[in-house]
Amino acid sequence: MDLLIWLEKWYSSICDGEWEHLYGVKIDTLDNPGWRVLIDILDTPLEMKKFEPVIKYVDDNNWICCRVKDGKFDGGGDMSKLKEILEIFKKWVED
């Protein structure tokens, strides 16, 4: 399934009339340059699920860092890593 369609379906499954007023999904750019994905997991089934951080650094043009911190999935990476960040989130949700 297309990754964006999957994310839409996941988001839709979490929205309950209240959650979406307090939490959400943010995809933004970084100035180094790169991507940052923040996905709130508070008040979801993921809130207590263990996440093993993914940290890979080759150089300033080849890196990714995904972790769960402060009730959020927090993923960042270089300009080519947006898809990989979302795939890491998807794999965690589905495992």
The domain spans of the chain are 3-94
Residue carrying the six token digits 């947006």? 82
In this predicted structure, the answer to whether residue 1 has a pLDDT above a threshold of 80 is no
Average of per-residue pLDDT values in the chain:
97
Q: Quote the CA–CA distance of 94 and 56 in Å, as a whole number.
A: 22
Nearest to 56 by CA among 67, 40, 48: 67
pLDDT band for position 9 (50/70/90)? very high
For 59, the enclosing helix (H) or strand (E) is strand 54-59
Written as six digits, the tokens of 51 are 């996440």
Supply the DSSP string of 22-37, one letter for each residue.
Answer: H--EEEEEETTTEEEE
Burial class (CB in 10 A: 0-12, 13-18, 19+), 54: middle
Region 55-76 average pLDDT: 97
Q: Band of the pLDDT at 17, cuts 50, 70, 90?
A: very high
